[in-house]
Amino acid sequence: MHLTDFTHFPRVTSFARLTSTLRIRSLAPTQTSCRPIASDHFKPSRRSRLMSKGAAAGVAAVLSLAAVQAFAQGAGAAAGASTNASGASGNGVFDLLVGTYTGSGKSEGIYVYRFDAGTGAITRLSSAQAVNPSYLVVSHDRQHVYAVNELPGDNGPASQRGGISAFRFDPPSGQLTFVNRVSSDGNDPAYLALSPDGRYLLTANYSVASNPGGSFAVFPLEGDRVDPSVLTVHHDGGGPVKGRQDNSHVHSTVFSPDGRYLFTQDLGADKIYSYRYTPDGSRGLFGPTESRYTLVKPGSGPRHLIFDQAGKHAYLTTEMNASVSVYDYDDGKLTLRQTLPMTKPGFKGKVGGGAIHLSPDGRFLYATNRGDANEILTYAVDPSNGHLKLLARNSTLGKTPREFAIDPTGRWLIVGNQDSDSVYFFRRNPDTGELASDPKRLEIGSPVDFKFVSPS
């Protein structure tokens, strides 16, 4: 279908019997004055533990924290702020869910810990077997957990589709019970988001293979189960970096703070696609906005997008040139205001911009840079215009820091090093944003994603 057809996608009334697959073709980029990025950027295997340590380099994933979807989970907090999106805990004790890659044989799947923000004490409660549950999301009522099954990976057959798994979750005991699994309707699902009304689950199919290519898919939620997708949208096009941008790679699906729009970050096409969300079906479940997309610097590879609590500013990480960009946001439109490189001046190693989150109070922003840097950067947020000022760089004390989380009290930042099988718990000063230099260490095989849930 062409874009004009997609705008009038018919109202969906029987999800069990109707599945739609759409392909979006973009206009040619107009920002031709931007030069492509050099070809020596971060090219780690996106799933270096997924299939084998010797997997081919060239792809990187994004997996983001529950707070990125804080609004979508009904918390009423900033989309992107690292708050407890699944309930408050008055005593500072939380369940911490950890998603992992399982291909190395060092991980069972999903782990649940009891974390005390007052003391930093952590106790393992349970685990649930799952194949590559590299991204997690928790339901509004805290009774359900959904996980991607990130397949086939760098070396897997393109014909193999990834999966989405549903679990019942008991917060007081921390126990997970498998319910069902459905196809992700694409390859290499790397992200999940709940619609603001909790009716749908969305995934970003990164897709290493050019066929089927990058897409996002929409799944109805019925009781304890996740149902098969009712809509899959493919993006066409690519970017200037050969081997990394030969086709679309959808990295994340993020709802706007008002819940009216969906933004899909496409690393392969260097675009942030924007869609209207109309759950009553009057204009189709999802339809492109008038602008259709926001162009990002060619060769930069957009990865994660978050919004501030006021819904006035958005922040984007780009993977391939490791930068953080600031946008003004208004009614579905993004306007670029600032871009900062993550690397130090003169840095010559490999880079890989990763996860991005705001502190619970919105005063500080953090982002990870992988490659040879393996850092987490701290920025101060100017409350007058949302602009950023770099405050500090901290080593993550390991390799490939894919994701991190700030606990709901704001006193701890937790970061996982995928290729070092380690998680570090940094004490955080809520007043200054500073991370302490003596973090606690927890060993987990290929840790990737982290979610906080109140146990009561």
pLDDT bin (cut points 50, 70, 90) of residue 26 is low
**Residue 445 in domain:** yes
With beta carbons less than 8 A apart as the criterion, state whether 452 and 66 touch: yes
Q: Half-sphere exposure (CA, 13 Å, Cβ side) for 255?
A: 28
Total number of domains in the chain: 1
Smallest CA-to-CA distance from 342 within 41, 43, 45 is with 41
User: With pLDDT > 70 as the criterion, what percentage of the chain qualifies?
Assistant: 81
pLDDT bin (cut points 50, 70, 90) of residue 52 is very low
Task: Give the single-character DSSP code of 63.
Answer: -
- Distance from C-alpha of 172 to C-alpha of 95, rounded to nearest angstrom: 8
Task: Give the single-character DSSP code of 257.
Answer: T
- Distance from C-alpha of 105 to C-alpha of 102, rounded to nearest angstrom: 6
**Residue 35 in domain:** no
Mean pLDDT rounded to a whole number for the chain: 85
**Residue 377 in domain:** yes
Pick left, alpha or beta for residue 342 (phi over 0 → left; psi -120 to 50 → alpha; otherwise beta): alpha
Which two structure tokens, joined as six digits, stand for 304? Answer: 């994660």
CATH number of 305's domain:
2.130.10.10
Residue 177 CA: distances (Å) to CA of 110, 128, 144, 417:
11, 7, 9, 27
Residue carrying the six token digits 């200054």: 432
- Distance from C-alpha of 192 to C-alpha of 203, rounded to nearest angstrom: 5
Q: What amino acid is encoded at 99 in this protein?
A: G
For the segment 270-287, what is each residue's pLDDT rounded down to a tens digit?
999 999 999 998 888 999
Host H or E run for residue 171: none
3 state DSSP class of 68? helix
CB atoms within 10 A of CB 45: 24
Q: Is the dihedral of CA 251, 240, 315, 60 positive or negative?
A: positive
21 forms beta bridges with 232
Q: Which domain holds residue 266?
A: 3-12+20-25+47-453
With beta carbons less than 8 A apart as the criterion, state whether 367 and 65 touch: no
**Residue 33 in domain:** no
Strand runs labelled E in 229-369: 231-235, 250-255, 261-266, 271-277, 286-295, 302-307, 313-318, 323-330, 333-341, 353-358, 364-369
Structure pTM? 0.85
With beta carbons less than 8 A apart as the criterion, state whether 173 and 161 touch: no
Maximum Cα–Cα distance across the chain: 57
Looking at residues 429-456, what average pLDDT do you find? Answer: 97
Smallest CA-to-CA distance from 99 within 31, 146, 162 is with 146
- Distance from C-alpha of 200 to C-alpha of 137, rounded to nearest angstrom: 12
With beta carbons less than 8 A apart as the criterion, state whether 218 and 285 touch: yes
**Residue 163 in domain:** yes
For the segment 228-249, what is each residue's pLDDT rounded down to a tens digit?
999 999 999 999 999 999 999 9
With beta carbons less than 8 A apart as the criterion, state whether 325 and 316 touch: yes
Q: What's the pLDDT at 424?
A: 98
Host H or E run for residue 4: helix 3-7
- Distance from C-alpha of 233 to C-alpha of 277, rounded to nearest angstrom: 14
Contacts of 163 (CB under 8 A, 6+ apart): 131, 148, 149, 151, 181, 182, 183, 184, 189
**Residue 36 in domain:** no
CB atoms within 10 A of CB 389: 11
Q: What's the pLDDT at 447?
A: 98
Q: What's the pLDDT at 283?
A: 86
For the segment 385-420, what is each residue's pLDDT rounded down to a tens digit?
999 999 999 999 999 999 999 999 999 999 999 999
**Residue 32 in domain:** no
Q: Return the minimum-mean-pLDDT range out of 18-32, 154-168, 320-334.
A: 18-32
Q: What's the pLDDT at 247?
A: 95
